[in-house]
Amino acid sequence: MRLLITLLFMINVAFSQNWLQQRIIAEQFDKALQHFDDGRYATADKILQRILKKPAGEYELPVNLLVMKTSLALDHVDVAKAFGKTILTQYGQHEYLSEAFMVLGDILIAEGDVDGAFRMYMRSRQIDNDDSFIEKINSRIIQTIQIGISESAIAEQQLTALEDNEIILNLAQAFTHLQKGNPDDCAVALNKVDPVFIPEAYYELYEKMFLASYQPALEMFTFGVVLPLTGRHAEIGNSFLRGLHQSSNKPGQPVNIAFQIEDSKSDAVEAIRAIKRLEKNKQLLAIITARDDLALTNVLQSSTLPLIVPGGSGLSFSGLKNNIFQLQAGWTDEGQHAARWIAEYLIKDSIAIIAPADDYGHSVIDAFLKEMDALDHTVVVVEWYTGKPENLKKQFQSLRQTAFNLIPPDNPYDEFLGMSFDSLDALFDVNTEDFFALAEDENEEKIKDSSKVVLSTIQALYMPIHAEHLNYIGTQFPMYNLNTSLVGNIAWNQPEILAQDNVGPHLEGMTILSHKNVSRDANSPSQIENNDFLLGYDVSGLLTAICNSGITNRTEFISKLEQTEYNGLVYAIAFSPDDHSNSTMQILKCENRSFIPVGTFVADTVQFHIQQRP
């Protein structure tokens, strides 16, 4: 009897401990989920790793799924894939399968495998009937269709698809035909779809394709594209690709642009191999890359195929083969344009500089100083900083000392003669016996600078910085009371920092030089997309404009590329005839805590958007 009581007691204790453990895990999981929903992925991951150290019981599957999603958000793709494989292979059928397939689709999108992502999304849709979940999956499927899915991937899934999924695959096939400039084939695919049974989320896509299928076939122009769709630079490549596709797929395009896409896998050797594969296609008008690499230029030394590269870096392709076109001004151009803007348009002299002591800073400032010297203007002080500019007291105090030293004395002769006299003194004889002994002169008190005094003798301050440095510099600059024309670079255009009361008001009237223009339309892609997407978007627009001008071959394309001045969504592109670099830069001015366009540097001249100078 005593043994039975002891056994029951032990069972009860074990049950209580297990219940308590599950309660603790439940609370920790809820906290991790809340942090994930609020975008605090690192905090969520830290809590989840703590949970994983012990058996999670009934929470094991949801914990693994949340770890998978958190790892993807933190860009730990391999970890996310490993947990995804575990969820799909070790637990049989369960309620989290559909969401696991969806997250695997997101992983494949991040890696640039659009076909693979489409398979995962379709599989996910097939095994879940929850309305809110289907809504999330539908949006992903539509975006994937519009990026472009291979015909083989569609055909493969059509073998087993039923009901809604079969309709979606026919729509995907129709879009693929339309993307390739074949409206008749698009119409054939759409004819297999009964509009009555189309899922509501796909109505708009069907309507656009139905109208487009009645348009005559557009002339096809093909370009090669080498992008890092996988590997450490995958985000750059995929953003650029989305921009290309979104621009070229806009309704009402006058020509049809097709892209033969190669994945460089974020590797220079793979990029060279991709260029060589593309070079064999004689139909290509040009090859586009999303990253600068001097090694790529050597591959096309004996080819007439133009290579369009991003530019905007310290690399210079001038002096190399003449078929290289740079889409953005380089660091040297940035420094030269800034010097011309200050000297010739702001008409300032006695210029100061604060810049980062790295490759970017030195390249920009070297070019700036050379141009200032050529323009016969004076740079009075150059101050450098390293690392995070958390404390620039030394640099700003040096500027104040320089500004203070530039203040002219009250009487310019005193400095040299040490006395002042009247010419009438020479008309009279002076008897020194009538004078009492004079007290010795007291030491003159030396005038010192005070940070409370506003100094205006430095007429312009040039500060090309990095974007992550503005948080530190923006709050320090107002403390040193320098009344000067502040000139910077694109890094200063950060609305969330400009909105701060201790930063924004002090930058009023500041001008910056930027590769990008600005838009005040809150719904414009320029407000919500990153730079790589926007560059891809405007490159596609440039190609469309040239192809629509009546060209028929590669030679005519190159000729038009050299002559065209294109104003895109945010980038203005006009290639220099000398070295095929786009030295166009935007001049933006800070007004009411935001930057507005003032003019555009084209070659060495500013074309103003308004009549008066700033």
Residue 236, classified by CB atoms within 10 Å of its CB into exposed (0-12), middle (13-18) or buried (19+), is buried
For residue 53, the number of C-alpha atoms closer than 13 Å in the C-beta half-sphere is 6
Q: For residue 550, is it left (φ>0), alpha (ψ between -120 and 50) or beta?
A: left
| Residue recorded with tokens 């809604």 | 164
Question: Chain-centre distance of CA 501, in angstroms?
Answer: 26
Please identify every stretch of the chain with a pLDDT value under 50, giving residue numbers as ranges. 4, 7-11, 13-17, 411-428, 430, 432, 434-436, 438-439, 441-442, 444-445, 522, 612-614
Cβ-proximal residues to 288 (8 Å cutoff; 6+ apart), any chain: 223, 224, 225, 226, 244, 308, 539
3-state helix, strand, coil in the chain (%, to 5): 50, 15, 35
For 290-378, list the strands marked E by DSSP. Answer: 307-311, 324-328, 351-356
As given in the structure block, the two tokens for residue 332 are 């040297």
Domain 331-405+449-514+584-614 classification at class level: alpha beta
- End-to-end, the C-alpha distance of the chain in Å comes to 98
Classify strands 307-311 and 324-328 as parallel, antiparallel or unpaired: parallel
As given in the structure block, the two tokens for residue 488 are 């910077």
Q: 3-state DSSP call for residue 338?
A: helix
Contact criterion met (CB below 8 Å) for 117 and 72:
no
> Got the DSSP string for 540-605?
HHHHHHHHTTT--SHHHHHHHHHH-EEE-SSBEEEB-TTT-BB--EEEEEEETTEEEEEEEEETTE
Among residues 503, 462, 241, the alpha carbon closest in space to that of 361 is found at 462
Contact criterion met (CB below 8 Å) for 161 and 169:
yes
Name the residue ranges covered by the structural domains of the chain. 2-173, 220-329+522-582, 331-405+449-514+584-614
| Residue recorded with tokens 């190669």 | 262
Cβ-proximal residues to 435 (8 Å cutoff; 6+ apart), any chain: none
The CATH superfamily assigned to 220-329+522-582 is Response regulator (3.40.50.2300)
How many angstroms separate the CA atoms of 558 and 549, rounded? 12
pLDDT score, position 524: 58
How many angstroms separate the CA atoms of 400 and 7, rounded? 83
Contact criterion met (CB below 8 Å) for 206 and 270:
no
Contact criterion met (CB below 8 Å) for 296 and 224:
no
Among residues 357, 362, 423, 344, the alpha carbon closest in space to that of 385 is found at 357
pLDDT score, position 294: 64
How many angstroms separate the CA atoms of 249 and 139, rounded? 17
How many angstroms separate the CA atoms of 241 and 144, rounded? 12
SS (H, E, C) 208-242: HHHHHCCCCCCCEEEEEEEECCCCCCHHHHHHHHH
Among residues 39, 96, 49, 100, the alpha carbon closest in space to that of 73 is found at 39
Contact criterion met (CB below 8 Å) for 242 and 533:
yes
Helical pair 41-52 and 2-37, crossing angle rounded to 10 deg: 160
2-173 shares its CATH topology with 331-405+449-514+584-614: no
As given in the structure block, the two tokens for residue 371 are 């141009």
As given in the structure block, the two tokens for residue 590 are 């800070």
Read off the pTM. Answer: 0.62
Among residues 187, 245, 192, 191, the alpha carbon closest in space to that of 212 is found at 187
Classify strands 585-591 and 594-602 as parallel, antiparallel or unpaired: antiparallel
Q: How many residues does the chain have?
A: 614
Among residues 326, 320, 328, the alpha carbon closest in space to that of 299 is found at 320
pLDDT score, position 77: 81
pLDDT score, position 376: 94
Contact criterion met (CB below 8 Å) for 559 and 577:
no
Question: Chain-centre distance of CA 229, in angstroms?
Answer: 16
As given in the structure block, the two tokens for residue 397 are 């105090």
Q: What are phi and psi of 148, to 5 degrees?
A: 125, 120
Q: What are phi and psi of 434, to 5 degrees?
A: -75, -5
pLDDT score, position 513: 94
Strands lying side by side in the sheet with 605-608: 379-385, 351-356, 460-463, 485-489, 511-514, 585-591, 594-602, 605-608
Strands lying side by side in the sheet with 324-328: 256-263, 220-227, 284-289, 307-311, 324-328
Domain 2-173 classification at class level: mainly alpha
pLDDT score, position 484: 93
How many angstroms separate the CA atoms of 347 and 342, rounded? 6
As given in the structure block, the two tokens for residue 305 are 């195929």
